[in-house]
Amino acid sequence: MEITVRTAAEQDLPALLALYREVNPDDPALSPEAARAGWARIAAQQGRTVLVAEADGAVVGTADSIVMPNLTRGGRGILFVENVVVAGAGRRRGVGRRLLDAVVGLAEEAGCYKVQLLAADDAYVHTFYESCGFEPRAQGFRRYLAREG
């Protein structure tokens, strides 16, 4: 399987939504208008890059990243990663590793001093991230907010 990683475009929106549905099947579906509006906001954010991995002409994975400017570490930024998803059929075939290699490349190009991500409390996922060079160096905290309406 040949894997290509590239920056996502608006035409990838249906494939992205399908990948996100695999991870969060209970999320309410976005209307096409809401999805396009959300994509427009994402695409307009400086330092934001959504990557997709393609295999055999189909989108099989994604990773979303954003560079946060910083006033420590000599002014070098931090690249945050979210929504790393590989379709069930593409798992254990190098898709996730290729996505994370591309994310690290984005961080290097931006002059960042670190790449940071949070991982689900899942031993397989932790082992995967560690195999990609990430270290469990901090404890993460989250505070979920109530949904509107």
Q: What pLDDT digit, counting tens, does each position of 114-138 carry?
A: 999 998 888 889 999 999 999 998 8
Do the domain assignments include residue 136?
Answer: no
What is the Cα Rg of the chain in Å? 16
Do the domain assignments include residue 119?
Answer: yes
Question: What percentage of the chain reaches a pLDDT higher than 70?
Answer: 99
**pLDDT tier at 149, thresholds 50, 70, 90:** low
Do the domain assignments include residue 32?
Answer: yes
Do the domain assignments include residue 137?
Answer: no
**124 CB burial (10 A radius; 0-12, 13-18, 19+):** exposed
Determine the pLDDT at residue 110.
Answer: 97
pLDDT tens per residue across span 73-106: 999 999 999 999 999 887 888 999 999 999 999 9
Do the domain assignments include residue 144?
Answer: no
- Residue 68: CATH number of its domain: 3.40.630.30
Determine the pLDDT at residue 65.
Answer: 98
Do the domain assignments include residue 65?
Answer: yes
Do the domain assignments include residue 13?
Answer: yes
**1 CB burial (10 A radius; 0-12, 13-18, 19+):** exposed
Domain count, the chain: 1
Q: For the whole model, what pTM was predicted?
A: 0.92
Give the domain extent around 112.
3-131
Do the domain assignments include residue 143?
Answer: no
106, 99 in Cβ contact below 8 A? no
